[in-house]
Amino acid sequence: MPNDDIYRKQTFGQKTGFGRRPILLVVDFVNGFTDPEVFGGGNIAEAVAATVPLLAFFRAQGLPVGFTRIVYADDGSDCGIWCEKVPRLRELTEAAHQSQVVDALAPRPGELVIRKTQASAFFGTHLAGVLLSKGVDTIVMAGCTTSGCVRASAIDAMSSNFRLVVASDCVGDRALGPHEANLFDIGQKYGDLLSSRAIMDEIAAVA
C-alpha cells in the first residue's frame, strides 16, 4: 500500500462523516458478479456475506435502501463502448439470471432499484434526484467491483455533494490488488472508510 505520509501532508483523507439521513446503496451485487465463471472471483463472495447484516440493520432502522443492476436491452440496442471493451456485459439483460440481485440481498417491495448501463450508479440515471426527494444526504456504499462500479459511483456521489461512507468489508473485486489500491484511494479522495460494524454503531448511537 502507498506510504500515506504524503497524503496527510497534502490534506487528503479528511473525514466527512454522516449527515442527517443515510441510505444503504448496494452496487451490482448480482449473480453474475458473484460467479467466477462470469464476472466474479476474488473477495466478492465474502463482501456479499458481510453486507447481509448491514442490510438487515438498515431495514430494522427504517432507513432507505437502494440497489443497482447493470441492465441492457435484449437486442443490445443500448450497448455502447463499454460493451465493446467487455463484450459479456451484453448478457446482463432484464430477465437474465446473471443480472438479478443475489438472493441473500434480494430487494423488497418499495426498495429502490436503479438500472444502469455504465459503471457509475449516477451516470444516465435518476438516482441523485430520487435521493434528494427522500432527503438523503449520506450514501453508505457496498458492492462490487471496488475498482469499477464502486469507484465510479463513489466519485459521482462526491461530485453530487453526497457524503459517502464505504463499508470497507462490504466491497469486493475479482482481484485483491485493484481492490486494495482503489479502496485506499477512495478513502483519501472521495469518502470515509468504515467497517460495517462501525457504521452500524455510529448510526445506532445517533438514533
Query: What residues are annotated to the active site?
Result: 149
CB 51 within 8 A of CB 107: no
The three cell numbers locating residue 181: 489500491
Burial pattern 23-57, b for ≥16 Cβ within 10 A else e, equals bbbbbbbbbbbbbeebbbbbbbbebbebbeebbeb
Q: What DSSP assignment string belongs to 26-84?
A: EE--BHHHH-TTTT--TTHHHHHHHHHHHHHHHHHTT--EEEEEE-B-TT-TT--HHHH
